[in-house]
Every structure is written in C-alpha cells, then in structure tokens.
Chain A
C-alpha cells in the first residue's frame, strides 16, 4: 500500500521535473505557433513585428532624434530662453529626498536611452561586442531606474492629477511661444511636466515589464497563458510595445532636457539646490505662487 503512494509521488515528481524543463517557446506550444503563424484567429503579431521592425521603428526613432532637437534649435533662435531675475527671494521647492530620487532616475535615463538607441541603430555601430556591452548596460541600468521610479511616483503623484489650469496651459502652449512675462496657469507642476511624469512612471513600468520579458525570454506566466496568449506572442507584443513606447519616451526626454537646461535659464539648479527663483514660480507656476501667498508661506 505504502509503496503505491511512493510510486505515485515519484511519478508526480518526475512530471514536475519534465514540466519545469519544458520550454515555453520551443516546447509543446511550438507546433501550435508554427501552424497558427499569421493564420486567421491568430494575433498576427509575428507579421506586425516584422513589418514594424523592418520598416518603421528605425526611421521613427531617427525622426525624433533629429526632429525634436531641430525644432528646439529653431525655438531657441527665434524666441530664445526665458530668463528670470536672480535678485529676488528663492523658494524651496524640492526636498533632498526629491532631488536624490530625481538624480538616480536621471542617471538611469542617461544610461538607458543612449544604450537603447545603440541597440536600435546596431548596424550603424557594426554590432558585436560594443553593442552587446550596451545591451548589458541597458539591462543593468534598468535596476537603477526601478529604484528611482517607484519613490518618484509616490512622492509626486498627488500633484499630478489633471486640473483646469492644465487645459489653459495647453491652449497657450505653456507660454513658450513668446517671451512675455505673463503669469502662466499652472500649479506646482504644469501640464507638460505632468505628461512627462505619467509617461515616465506608468510608461516606465511598461518599459520595465516588456524589457524584463525579453531579457528572461523563456519563462511561463500562468495569467498570460490563461488568456490563451503564447509565450512567443507575449515576446512579440513586448518588443512592439517597448520600441513604440520608446519613441514617445525619447521624444519627451529630449523635451525635458531642453526645458530644464536651455529654455528656462538656470532651471536645472532647482533640482540641484532645491531652490527656485521667486520670479520663475510667480510666472511659470502662478497658481502655486498664489497658493503660497495665501498660506503666507512666502
């Protein structure tokens, strides 16, 4: 009687061992994936990925990489930067914690984005060990990105919800189309900053999960499988999402750099020292300024 149970337990164990060694890509799903490739009822992701990767992603990345800085170059030449008085008081806006979290995320972006671009334009760099090294750096710096984006989300999210000011801000494109120092409708963060926040955090989570899926490649997630999505289709969807969203993140990353380094003279100092010029707050974050005045905090 006992030996019977031992036998059953052994059988169960061996099937577990086989189950574990069975690949989610080249295992028994392989047949269905070959037979269903681009057939009716399939997700057609293989075809979509091939089309997007072979003809659209590279030119789109290139367009953003050249187009966005070009537009800023023109803006800088025609309208020029906003310059605010440094003689008035300074307002403490970013705590040390804020600045450290932002610094880590900035470092991770400066590693992730260039290395991602090297992968995307891998043939330009001749492939091989240099591009492989960038692939590793891209993956490792994702860890830095994770440890910064989670606290960033929680420390700023309460100011990031949409407000009537945001609509007004968008109507006048944040006041960047001229150099008049008229108060711009915005709270602690303006509509542009809010967009960047959501793209970097929620988009960032998507980038992390799709990137991680591609990194680990051969694994099985029961939730995904229960929707009838095969592992290879999950990888294809990940690659499509990662690259498409990457274009958006690259674009807003470039905007973010231009704003903080060039368009508003000295804006970057606030992320280093924590202090913003009073005039800058008064003009660019007028609702926030009024609020501070009412609370008698300045």
Chain B
C-alpha cells in the first residue's frame, strides 16, 4: 500500500474553534454509550493569549499501528486504504492497545461481567467492522458504515470551519498547503474567533 493512498485525519489548529461538534456528531451517529468517546476535542495552552488552540483527536489510523503490534489476540486488521479496524468478537478487552497508543484512542465501556471493562471500542473512520457491510450486527457493534456508501466520516462532514479534514494523505496535505499559501491574500483562513464574536478590545 503506498503511503499517499492511506486515509488520514488532519485537524487544522488555525481553524478549530473547539466547538465539540465533531465529537457530539460522532457519539450520536454511532449511538455510543456514555463514557465512550471515540473523538475528543482538547484545548491546549488554555487561557494563554496567542498560544491557545484547540484540536480534535481520535484514532489517527497510524502507519505501523502500535496497537496492532501488541494485541495478544491479533484482532486488528488494516484495510487497503489504511483504516485501522479491529474485530470485537475476538478482542478480549485487555487494553494493551491503549498502553501502546500515543493518542489514548482505544476506549473501554464498563460492561463486562462483574462491572469490568468490556471489549475495546475506537474510531472506525466511519468504516464499520468485519461484519457484513451495513448489516444490523455491524451497526450495533461498530456504528455507521459511511465509507461504504461513499460518504465522508461524519465528524469531518459536519465540521463547520472545515478544520477537521479527512482523505488520502496527499489530498489532505494539498488542501493544507493551499490554505497556508493563501493566508493573508483576502481568503478567510482564520476562524471567526473572539474578536468577531465579542468585539475586539483594540
């Protein structure tokens, strides 16, 4: 698989306004139980003027995914397009993938016997799982399969500032490069932030 044909997420920190729309859309679209956050919006340098920015984080569908390397039951599989998925029927909920993951992406609903952690859940890039595509079981276990219908993952589709990008890595970096180049040329690249919403102090 060539590196450029892999599907990747990218969150443009110049645009993300930390509205949490993506994570809410994700939780609703896939009917996630509370406590499972496949996508999360974090704000860095909170309160420090000029340095504060927000980012939307989920499974990054890593090349050479560390989660896949450590799984004791080998339940991960990586699609042709680079989407990292796993089989919940095989997963034993040991959380090794969480220990290996740099992004804290794997989630563990508290639903096992004796109130213990259940099997792992994470972002599927809206590509479902190993069950029959668009079947009821697939939807129950993994949520919507939008990729099979040619749709963009729901988080990126609804992002109001188009900060959250998804696509093959070449395409995503082209869009980002264009944005950087056109900054300051009359193209709106900054989000309507504090000064528009509340009026500038100066």
* Interface residues of A, Cβ cutoff 8 Å to B: 25-26, 30-31, 33-35, 37-38, 45-46, 49-50, 53-54, 119-123, 125-128, 131-132, 135-136, 139, 214-215, 217-218, 232, 235-236, 239
Contact = CB atoms under 8 A, between A and B. Distances in A.
B129 to A, nearest CB: 14
Contacts of A120: 72
Nearest to A35: B44
Given A26-B107, A54-B70, 18 more contacts: A30-B42, A30-B104, A31-B42, A34-B104, A38-B102, A49-B70, A50-B69, A53-B99, A119-B72, A123-B72, A127-B91, A128-B89, A136-B112, A139-B116, A232-B104, A235-B95, A235-B99, A239-B99
B94 interface: yes
Contacts of B90: 126-128
Most chain A CB neighbours (cut-off 10 Å) among B37, B72, B116: B72
B28 interface: no
B94 to A, nearest CB: 7
Contacts of B66: 46, 50, 54
B57 interface: yes
Contact of B96 (A34, A53, A132, A218): A53
B98 A127 contact: no
Interface string B90-134: 111111101111111001100011101100000000000000000
A35 B43 CA distance: 12
A121 B42 CA distance: 37
B74 interface: yes
Nearest to B60: A34
Contacts of B107: 26
Contact of A127 (B57, B92, B114): B92
Contact of A53 (B37, B92, B100): B100
Interface of B: 37, 40, 42, 44, 57, 66, 69-75, 87, 89-96, 98-104, 107-108, 112-114, 116-117
A214 B93 CA distance: 11
A214 B69 contact: no
Contacts of B74: 122-123, 127
Which 6 pairs across A and B sit closest by C-beta, in order of nearness? Answer: A127-B73, A127-B90, A122-B73, A54-B69, A37-B102, A122-B72
Contacts of A239: 96, 99
B104 A214 contact: no
A236 B99 contact: yes
A34 B99 contact: no
A127 B87 CA distance: 10
Contacts of B92: 119, 122, 127-128, 131-132, 135
A178 B24 CA distance: 72
Most chain A CB neighbours (cut-off 10 Å) among B37, B70, B113, B116: B70
Nearest to B36: A26
Given A53-B69, A53-B70, A127-B75, A26 B95 contact: no
A142 to B, nearest CB: 13
A135 B93 contact: yes
Contacts of A33: 104
Contacts of B37: 26
Contacts of A132: 92-93
A139 B115 CA distance: 13
Nearest to B113: A136
Contacts of B40: 26, 30
A38 B72 CA distance: 22
A50 B100 contact: yes
B93 A34 contact: no
A45 B98 CA distance: 12
14 contacts: A46-B100, A49-B70, A49-B99, A50-B66, A50-B69, A121-B72, A122-B72, A123-B73, A127-B74, A127-B92, A132-B92, A136-B112, A235-B95, A235-B99
A34 B72 contact: no
Given A123-B74, A127-B74, A135 B94 contact: yes
B69 to A, nearest CB: 4
Contact of A217 (B42, B100, B117): B117
A214 B103 CA distance: 18
A126 B92 CA distance: 10
